[in-house]
Amino acid sequence: MFEAGRELDFGAVRFDEATVSRYLVAVLDEAMAELNGAGEGAFVPPLAIAAQFSKGVSEMDLPLEALHTGQELEFLKPVAVGSEVQCSGRIVSNRQRGEIILVQLEFETRDAEGDVVMSGKTTLLLPAEASR
């Protein structure tokens, strides 16, 4: 399940006004809501895009003992409210060290034009008995 080279599809999400508003309420970000406004010209908060990737990782059927130990994110292009993005990734390494497995993922999120809007890496620690 966590073999190196495995391609991952975290799905697509449309960031309509309602989705962005729910995100801003959930994270209590009144400043971003006030700054950003709504309608034409509004943009999706970058961490709302990252949250979609995190949701995808959480749906990977990880063991309960899994730890998310680090993440690097790079935001390359703003995403307008109303846009759809697609997030994909791959497992780049899977190494056992004693009683743990270190799994590193690389991922990217693309807009409808195919441009990368976010890329990054994340590292997970899993118990050695987790399937490789």
The domains found in the chain, sorted by start residue, are: 7-127 (3.10.129.10)
Structure tokens that stand for 43 in this block? 């943009």
pTM of the model: 0.81
pLDDT at 23: 83
Long-range contacts of 94-100 (CB under 8 A, 24+ apart): 94/2, 94/3, 94/4, 94/132, 96/128, 96/132, 98/128, 99/127, 99/128, 100/125, 100/126, 100/127, 100/128
From first to last of the 132 residues of the chain, give the pLDDT tens digit.
788 999 999 899 999 888 888 888 888 776 665 556 555 568 888 988 988 777 777 778 888 888 889 999 999 999 999 999 999 999 999 999 899 999 999 999 999 999 999 999 999 999 988 654
pLDDT at 94: 92
CA-closest candidate to residue 44, choices 22, 60, 74, 72: 22
Phi, psi for 130 (deg, rounded to 5): -65, 145
- CA distance readout (Å), 112 to 21, 78, 80, 102, 115: 21, 13, 11, 33, 7
User: Following DSSP, what letter does each residue of 3-68 receive, concatenated?
Assistant: -TT-EEEEEEEE--HHHHHHHHHHTT-HHHHHHH-SSTT-B--HHHHHHHHHHHHHTS---TT-EE
Label the pairing between strands 84-97 and 100-111: antiparallel
